[in-house]
Amino acid sequence: MKSLFDKTRVGSIRLKNRLVRAGTYENTGVSDLTGELYQYYQELAQGGVGIIITEFTDVLSGGVDGNSFTNQYKQITKMVHQYDTKIILQIGYCSFSYKDNWVVWGPSAVENVRTKVQPREMSRETIRCMQMAFADAAQQAKEIGFDGVEIQGAQGFLLNQFLSPYYNRRKDEYGGSIENRARMILDLCRVVRERVGSFFPIIMKINAVDSIVPGMTFQECKYVCGKLAEQGIDAIEITGDWQDISPRPPAYFKKFAAELAAEIPIPVILDGGERDYDVMLSILNTTAIEYFSLARPLIAEPDLVKRWENGDTRAAKCISCNACLNFDGVFFCILNN
């Protein structure tokens, strides 16, 4: 029988368990990473999670670059490694909100249904520059000491918009069929892999389906993930637009992740509603899903994994998404522990 505390591998890295801290926006700003964020990651590492996926880092914001950031990130990675925990840098590009009056890029000039931001359509040259920016960020992550990168291709970010026929109205080789809409993400991952080499883990975070119509279908998602596996991506994290799921049962993307995991030869990480130890253990032993990604439960209880490992397998204290409020894209857990 498989255990949530099996020692496994994702690509070249060894993991002490199957539990992943999902990347989530922590509103740390861009000036200092060594204060509250350092303390929070230390609590997570001490708490026993196998992998920490960092908050989203924009590849065009300079968030990985520069001596001050490099030194601060090195402090964080060194500290996390002291607890036998791995740390993955999540990288992506946000195409649905304005920042500092920058131009916002998208596959097409289609207004975002939630934020009402209308991006500028990317040219082929801009697409190539964006791909290189991802490669630069991945290379910097490797040099700093991160154990891998997760490419944010889900939840309305730029790469998800290329996959979505609602946002991608292009008439060139990047639009139309799923083969064309997937071209951006596949070419980008190829460029990143060439830059970081064969042994630096790359994880892709991707929607199982889009909540918007017309959106990427699950059959199209499986096509993209199959191609990513052929290219040497090390794992797939399956997620979706959880805001549109009501009510929210445990493991609400399980059906999609299980079907995908049965068809591709690389590990699948299940995101969304993972807070019950017994539910995850059952999924692990009845499907091909290998890893579980948690966010809000670890905000409420950073030492949750240690508690489970020590035999107290009661569900996480963060038992409902209704306990978290969303102000301008920032999550605040208001549970009383």
pLDDT digits (tens, 9 = 90+) for 326-336: 433 333 444 33
Answer yes or no: is pLDDT of 202 > 70: yes
Within-domain flag for 151? yes
Report whether 126 contacts 102 (CB < 8 A).
no
At 99 the three-state DSSP class reads coil
**Over residues 157-178, mean pLDDT:** 96
Task: Give the pLDDT score at 258.
Answer: 98
Instruction: Please give the mean pLDDT across all residues of the chain.
Output: 88
Cis amide linkage into residue 249, ω under 30° from 0: no
Total domains present in the chain:
1
Residue 206 lies in a domain: yes
Query: Is residue 320 assigned to a domain?
Result: yes
Q: What is the pLDDT of residues 110-138, one digit of tens each?
A: 998 888 889 999 999 999 999 999 999 99
- Residue 189 covered by a domain: no
CATH classification of the domain holding 255: 3.20.20.70
**Structural domain contains residue 59:** yes
**Residue 65 banded pLDDT, cuts 50, 70, 90:** low
| 3-class secondary-structure state, position 288 | coil
pLDDT tier for residue 34 given thresholds of 50, 70 and 90: low
Query: In the Cβ-directed half-sphere of 332, how many Cα atoms lie within 13 Å?
Result: 5
Residue 220 lies in a domain: yes
Instruction: Return d(Cα 156, Cα 161) in angstroms, integer.
Output: 6
Identify the domain containing residue 30 by its residue range. Answer: 8-95+124-157+198-333
Q: Is 231 exposed, middle or buried (0-12, 13-18, 19+ CB in 10 A)?
A: middle
Residue 245 main-chain phi, psi, to 5 deg:
-100, 120
Question: Helices (DSSP H) in 147-212: which residue ranges?
Answer: 158-163, 178-181, 183-196
In this predicted structure, what is the pLDDT of residue 333?
Answer: 45
Instruction: Indicate whether 323 belongs to any domain.
Output: yes
Residues 6+ away with beta carbon under 8 Å from 189 = 151, 202, 204, 228, 231, 233
Q: List 152's β-bridge partners, or say none.
A: 205
Residue 47 maps to a domain: yes
Q: Considering the entire predicted model, what is its pTM? A: 0.91
Q: How does DSSP assign 62-74, residue by residue?
A: TSS-SHHHHHHHH
- For 221-257, write each residue's pLDDT tens digit: 999 999 999 999 999 999 987 655 555 677 889 999 9
